[in-house]
Amino acid sequence: MVEETGQQLVSLSDYLQNVSLLTDADKGEKEEIERVSLMTVHAAKGLEFDVTFIVGAEKEYFPLYMNSVEPADVEEERRLFYVALTRAKTQAFISYADIRMKWGKTNPCTPSDFIKDIGMDYLEMPVEKRKPEEKSGFSAFTPKKTSERNVFSDFMPKKPERATPVSSPQNFKPIQSVSSKAMASEEIPDLKPGMLVEHDRFGPGVVLTVEGISPDIKAQIEFKHSGIKNLLLKFARIKIINNN
């Protein structure tokens, strides 16, 4: 409680409504430069701005829900929200957080009911795009959502989704299978120890050993620049340079 000279005791809320706070708006229009004025809703009474930003418009914050809250207190905050909203001449931006840290814990947030009371016809709701969450030191504080959503989706009526018939694919040809024998005859070279060969990646080399049965024939080759490699010939793309 606050005691005013010559008057009875008043509440802190009454005091804030009448106290004069020093803001940029009190300085007049001496300097016509672009600037931002930061103030409480109480201090904004009687002022007008082209654009205003109302931040923290979330349940439990605006209005401030407490254990001892009464309907009259909520209505008082509703009037304050109206004051904040009507300070704007052209545009008013209302924002809220997805999550907040409170008493050492992260809590999800939802838009204030005051926003819902405005009416959807007067709201322009942006769509935010989110990238898949990356692991970092702050991942515990990041909302686990990866798709696009409307920031005020909680207030939008849900429309039933209509199933879209799936058309049959056209102009698609079936994939023809290739037998292992065909692969063996076309792609697997007939290597023998001592042959000079060349690989697309490893370069020239000499065949040391050959083992296995087609199509799973393996060869050990010593390459000039890459050393000894064990290769499965059906995937190796080996070219024979010298049969001797």
Q: Are 191 and 207 in contact (CB under 8 A)?
A: yes
User: CA separation (Å) from 156 to 116, 121, 125, 152, 190?
Assistant: 9, 11, 10, 7, 70
Which comes out higher in pLDDT, residue 80 or 150? 80
Backbone CA torsion sign across 181, 183, 185, 188: negative
What confidence tier does 10 reach under pLDDT thresholds 50, 70, 90? low
Tell me the pLDDT tens digit for each residue of 53-93. Answer: 999 888 877 877 655 567 777 888 888 899 999 999 999 99
**162 pLDDT above the threshold of 70:** no
Please tell me whether residue 110 adopts helix, strand or coil conformation.
coil
Tell me the pLDDT tens digit for each residue of 11-31. Answer: 766 666 665 554 445 555 555
Please give the Cα distance from 154 to 116 (Å, whole number). Answer: 9
Please tell me whether residue 9 adopts helix, strand or coil conformation.
strand
Helices (H), 45-119: 71-85, 113-118
Q: For the chain, which residues make up each domain, given as ranges?
A: 38-122, 195-240
Provide the pairing of β-strand 49-54 with 88-94: parallel
Residue type, 174: P
Least confident of 77-86, 98-107, 125-134, 207-216: 125-134
Q: Are 89 and 49 in contact (CB under 8 A)?
A: yes
> Which CATH number applies to 38-122: 3.40.50.1220, 3.90.1150.10, 3.40.50.300, 2.60.40.10?
3.40.50.300
Backbone angles phi, psi at 58, to 5 degrees: -130, 155
Tell me the pLDDT tens digit for each residue of 92-101. Answer: 999 888 898 8
Please give the Cα distance from 88 to 91 (Å, whole number). Answer: 6
